[in-house]
Amino acid sequence: MRQSKLFTKTKREAPADEVAKNAQLLIRAGYIYKNMAGAYSFLPLGLRVIEKINRIIREEMNAIGGQELYMPSLQDPELWKKTDRWSDEKVDVWFKSELQAGGDIGFGWTHEEVVTDIMRQYVSSYKDLPFSAYQIQTKFRNEVRAKSGIMRTREFWMKDLYSFAATQEQHDAMYEAAAQAYERIFDRIGIGEKTHKTFASGGAFSKFSHEYQTLAEAGEDVVYVCEEKGIAVNEEVLEEVDLSELGVTREELVKSKSIEVGNIFSLGTKFSEAIGLTFKDETGENCPVIMGSYGIGPARSMGTVVDLLADEKGIVWPENIAPFAVHLVGLNLEDPEVNDWAEGVYNAFSDRGVEVLFDDRDLRPGEKFADSDLLGLPYRVVVSRKGKEAGTFEVVTRKTGEVRNLTEEEMYADFDNDPET
């Protein structure tokens, strides 16, 4: 992509009403646009990031046997009444509306009821189990106060996976497979080192559920962590947990702020019993299906990456989810020879399959470098008259600030050998 053709522009200042670092930087860099409190547009660069996060999530969900589907946001009240989750007194995050034809309708904030109802048509025998299905879909939650930028909004993407099992052993195996997949996802998007599988309330279905909490000063949650042993406990359940069972003492746990980027929990048979999802076991007895639910917010993960990894100059994208691998910054492009050289480099990167954003704008070098730091692409390659005379390119690694002057052959070899690019 040529930056001169990109309709978005960078901003020097963040909107006065944004206090979250992720929103400030993403708006300034032109990744997102705030339409209203709790609702953002993802602009071309931002959408590229989200799609890369979604691709990683899909790959890991598919790897554990998840089958992708897509369910509607519009919800039938009668289905939710079966599980006693339609009433505003029971669930206070509903967005609801009235149909012109009469009756009420809701906008889905989760999909346990819907997916359970669907599976009634396809599950009849223990031979149909186990399996899991997932979607990446828009959710709506009527938050009292939308805050923390794109990490707590009223309209948002969610990946929700649901597992269906005939036995507790099947369910436990699927639960553990999902837990390991989550760890791989957070490693791949660049926050794995700071993200902990955290003991949380299990509700009525199990002793514990698990949250994936990323340690960050911008976090709304509080967790107690033993980094050495890889154990974390949510503050809300700290008094309920038998720490000796976990192999840790209270003195080893350190209080930290954190951002919840994912959760996994057992549902037991609550939804299957209420909606009538049953199967016949080997003896012919009718039994309710054992279910689990597993969520990740792609945009929340994106905001967490920005909050956690950004520096004083701007965003720092991990290579796996950056909108482009290379920011090709052209200087002295008014010189036809330099311009031709820059065009050749742009085409050579493209031919190699390296995703490149070409800053071909007529701006001063300082403005281009400031924009490059703000945008946060993993590598900046500078093409200039001085470089052409020397036969080298200045290659800057955004994460470390390392500067290398490489010949054309060295540069291409470097990127050809980089599996991330």
CA dist., res. 394 & res. 415, Å (int): 14
| List of E strands, 122-207 | 131-140, 155-165, 195-201
The arrangement of strands across the sheet holding 95-98 comes to 74-75, 104-107, 95-98
The answer to whether 218 and 149 have CB atoms below 8 angstroms apart is no
CA dist., res. 70 & res. 24, Å (int): 32
pLDDT tens per residue across span 129-162: 999 999 999 999 998 888 789 988 999 999 999 9
Predicted TM-score (pTM) of the model is 0.95
Q: How far is residue 28 from each of residues 162, 313, 376, measured CA to CA in Å?
A: 37, 12, 12
In the chain, where the domains are located: 11-309, 326-416
The 10 Å Cβ neighbour count of residue 248 is 20
The answer to whether 315 and 306 have CB atoms below 8 angstroms apart is yes
Q: How many CA atoms lie within 13 A of 325 on its CB side?
A: 16
Residues forming a β-bridge with 381: 328, 395
Contacts of 36 (CB under 8 A, 6+ apart): none
Q: What's the whole-number average pLDDT of the chain?
A: 95
Q: Cα 23 vs. chain centroid, distance in angstroms?
A: 15
The answer to whether 111 and 71 have CB atoms below 8 angstroms apart is yes
CA dist., res. 386 & res. 120, Å (int): 69
CATH number of 326-416: 3.40.50.800
Indicate whether 50 pLDDT > 90. yes
Between vectors from CA 176 to CA 171 and to CA 178, what angle results, nearest 5°? Answer: 95
The answer to whether 265 and 178 have CB atoms below 8 angstroms apart is no
pLDDT, average across residues 404-408: 95
Q: Which CATH architecture has domain 11-309?
A: 2-Layer Sandwich (3.30)
Contacts of 140 (CB under 8 A, 6+ apart): 73, 95, 107, 108, 109, 154, 155
pLDDT of residue 14: 84
Structure token digits, residue 37? 């409190």
In the structure, what pLDDT confidence band is assigned to residue 58 with cuts at 50, 70 and 90? very high
What is the torsional sign of CA 349, 355, 361, 366?
A: negative
Indicate whether 205 pLDDT > 70. no
User: What are the φ and ψ backbone dihedral angles of 160, each rounded to 5 degrees?
Assistant: -120, 120
Phi-psi region of 102 (alpha: psi -120 to 50; beta: other; left: phi over 0): left
Q: What is the 3-state secondary structure (H, E, C) of 393-407?
A: EEEEECCCCCEEEEC
Give the residue carrying structure tokens 């939308």: 146
Indicate whether 417 pLDDT > 80. no
pLDDT tens per residue across span 216-260: 998 999 999 999 999 999 999 999 889 998 999 999 999 999 999
User: What are the φ and ψ backbone dihedral angles of 208, each rounded to 5 degrees?
Assistant: -140, 155
Residues forming a β-bridge with 215: 258
